[in-house]
Amino acid sequence: MVCTVNDLQQWKDFPKGLKVLLLEGDATSAAEIKPKLEAMDYNVSAFCDENEALSAISSRSESFHIAIVEVSINSGQGGFKFLENAKDLPTIMTSNDHCLSTMMKCIALGAVEFLHKPLSEDKLRNIWQHVVHKAFNASASVMSESLKPVKESVVSMLQLQTDNEQQESTYTDDDPDPGSDKYPAPSTPQLNQGLRLMDDGDCPEQTNCSIEKESGEHDGEGESKSVETTCENLNSESNNPNEPMNTEKTLVKNLAEGSRDGNHDSSVYKHTNDKVLSSDDGNTKSSNKVDSCTLKAHRKKMKIDWTPELHKKFVKAVEQLGLDQAIPSRILDLMKVEGLTRHNVASHLQKYRMHKRQILPKEEGRKWLNQRDQMQRSYCLQQRPIMAFPPPNHSNHTLSPAPVYPVWRQSGGQAAAMPVWGPPGYPLWHPTESWHWKPLPGLQMHADAWGCPVLPPPQAPLPCFSYPLNVPGMHHTSAVDYKSIMPQSSLDLHLAEEVVDKVVKEAISKPWLPLPLGLKPPSTDSVLAELSRKGISTIPPCSKGS
DNA sequence: ACCGCAATAT
DNA sequence: AATATTGCGG
């Protein structure tokens, strides 16, 4: 609060008379710069000794409006000490060292601007802006919550915590506090340039940091939202006409994005990019790699590494829930994996289901797909496997080309060659040789394979049996065969039976529907015949609703 | 608000 | 190749 709005209002010829503290590493450069400042009618007090400068501001801090401090590369903390102890004084840092890290460090420590040397009058002319800025923002909470993550990110990147900031407790996460009067300066060309270097890395979407939608997901997924939120906040803030530093904020935010490798929790995420600092030139002071755990606010969603273990959890959850209840949110709950999002689960679940039902090649799918409306379509999709039971007169392979079942890939990669896909949900009609997932002795794989139960499946629920009426021959014979063929996976059995159940119900209730896959056969007549043969003569009145 | 699917992006 | 994201319909 060197200068209040009031002061400014009464300061007729502002910024003339601005009291500038100049701290240079040597008298020569001080003597060089001082005249330039004075040429603008600034009132300059030059120092070459940091401690002297500090005592000057401590003894009469009110007598300076702004400080221009050289960062001396040679002398350790040269300049920083002043910076950190002159919290109330808008401080511009200058240096011959154009290294990005230095710049950021200065800004992070509260400098209002960083100017590359040599200092021209042009660069110095408008330093008064900071004083004005401060005057108008000193009391207001400049550091909004939204900036906290940004701050943390930068700090983390620079590893300031390990360096020099014993006294600087701010970034830890507490105070975004307005008390620390230092605020980022109007961006300078240099700064922008420098920061841009940082984003050449690999954050493609950063350019449009704007509105990432997803804002919808405030739900339980206490995950990587923070940065996005930050982003939004930044944007909204940048709408403020009084805020001259949009670009800088954005860029800084980008930095945050870049440094998003930190995830504190389990091994869900792949730590893929730590290259962020690579563009950093050789700032040796803070060149250590960013500790990945420092950042809580990791930016965009990280790619989940669906390790076998994780997948196991997933499958376990799915099984616990049962197929009907296995929806992303519940699975997510059951899995209890920190950082995992519903989207992650949904995505995985989608794939999981896909492979369970062994999507047929589109071509074939098309054959029977357009036969009916959406309902019909989904019906076909769901039932197709069952319908593919080789009818007496058809060789199955002509109807259902055996898909390949990749097996779960070990994240380690050694088992990459293994088929990762588990058993198809309904492998019945597939030639045995395609059951890659089958026990596979010696490979710990199979348990992780898609669709392969990790837990003994719940014995009880075989929903299909809950229909006393719907156990026509088809079910019977098929089920029996199935069991004899595929005792390995009771889950599959379960699934198959469930599907059978559905099909039977469907067949009973809608005998008029064509069967998928162009299986001519059993179709209506056969089914009906079978039903009657089994003594089931009472076919529910075929109401669509049933 | 969430689910599921398909298409598409990364 | 594996995932994530998006768009759409439900």
* CATH number for position A25: 3.40.50.2300
Find, among A490, A445, A462, A473, the residue nearest to A534 by Cα.
Answer: A473
More confident position, A523 or A465: A523
What gap in Å lies between CA A64 and CA A204, rounded to an integer?
44
Find out whether A445 and A408 touch, Cβ atoms under 8 Å. Answer: yes
CA dihedral in degrees (A503, A508, A514, A515; nearest 10)? Answer: 30
For chain A, the domain total comes to 2
> Residue A133: inside a domain, yes or no?
yes
- Annotate A275-313 with DSSP letters as a single string: GGGGGS---STT-SPPPTTS-S---SPPPB---HHHHHH
Q: What is the rounded average pLDDT of the residues A270-275?
A: 35
Residue A68 DSSP label: E
A499 touches strand B (CB under 7 A): no
What gap in Å lies between CA A234 and CA A244, rounded to an integer?
13
A215 touches strand B (CB under 7 A): no
Q: How far is the CA of A215 from the C1' of C10 (A)?
A: 22
What are the residues whose beta carbons fall under 8 Å from the beta carbon of A390, sequence distance 6 or more? A396, A399, A429
Question: Which residues of A in 92-131 have their CB below 7 Å from strand B's atoms?
Answer: none
Q: What is the rounded average pLDDT of the residues A225-244?
A: 35
Residue A368: its pLDDT value, please?
38
What gap in Å lies between CA A221 and CA A278, rounded to an integer?
32
Residue A477: its pLDDT value, please?
35
Residue A24: its pLDDT value, please?
94
Q: What is the rounded average pLDDT of the residues A298-306?
A: 65
User: Which tokens hold the place of A210?
Assistant: 């704007």
Helical axes A147-158 vs A246-258, angle rounded to 10°:
60
What gap in Å lies between CA A86 and CA A230, rounded to an integer?
28
Residue A63: its pLDDT value, please?
76
Residue A246: its pLDDT value, please?
37
> Residue A126: inside a domain, yes or no?
yes
Collapsing DSSP states into helix, strand and coil, what is residue A357? coil
In the predicted model, what is the mean pLDDT of chain A?
55
- Annotate A394-463 with DSSP letters as a single string: --HHHHSPPPP--BPPPTTSTTTTSBB----S-GGGS-GGG-TTS--TT-GGGGGSTT--SSPPPSS--G
Q: How far is the CA of A235 from the C1' of B6 (A)?
A: 33
> Residue A364: inside a domain, yes or no?
no
Phi, psi (deg, nearest 5) at residue A22: -115, 120
Domain-terminating residue out of A141, A162, A179: A141
More confident position, A122 or A203: A122
> Residue A277: inside a domain, yes or no?
no
Q: What is the rounded average pLDDT of the residues A78-83?
A: 88
pLDDT digits over A26-42, tens only? 999 999 999 999 999 99
Closest residue by C-alpha to C1' distance, nucleotide B2:
A329
Is the confidence at residue A229, as pLDDT, over 60? no
Residue A511: its pLDDT value, please?
42
> Residue A235: inside a domain, yes or no?
no
**CA of residue A217 relative to chain centroid, distance:** 12
A305 touches strand C (CB under 7 A): yes
> Residue A136: inside a domain, yes or no?
yes
Q: How confident is the model at residue A354 (pLDDT cuts 50, 70, 90)?
A: confident
Helix (H) or strand (E) run with residue A342 in it: helix A342-356
Residue A335: its pLDDT value, please?
85
Q: Which nucleotides of C are covered by protein (CB under 7 A)?
A: 1-7, 9-10
Q: What is the rounded average pLDDT of the residues A112-140?
A: 84
pLDDT digits over A6-65, tens only? 666 667 778 888 899 999 999 999 999 999 999 999 999 999 999 899 888 887 655 788
What gap in Å lies between CA A249 and CA A214, rounded to an integer?
21
Domain-terminating residue out of A141, A168, A201: A141
pLDDT digits over A414-439, tens only? 333 333 444 433 333 333 333 333 33
What are the residues whose beta carbons fall under 8 Å from the beta carbon of A284, sequence distance 6 or more? none
Instruction: Point out which residues pair with A115 in neighbouring strands.
Output: A94
Q: How far is the CA of A334 from the C1' of C2 (A)?
A: 23
> Residue A481: inside a domain, yes or no?
no
Location of structure tokens 């089958």? A438
Q: How far is the CA of A406 from the C1' of B5 (A)?
A: 22
Q: How confident is the model at residue A532 (pLDDT cuts 50, 70, 90)?
A: low
> Residue A128: inside a domain, yes or no?
yes
H helices, E strands: number in chain A: 20, 5
Q: How far is the CA of A349 from the C1' of C9 (A)?
A: 19
- The residue segments making up the domain with residue A347 are 321-355
Residue A516 DSSP label: G
Question: Which residues of A in 355-374 have their CB below 7 Å from strand C's atoms?
Answer: 374
Domain-terminating residue out of A309, A331, A355: A355
Intra-chain end-to-end CA distance of chain A, in Å: 77
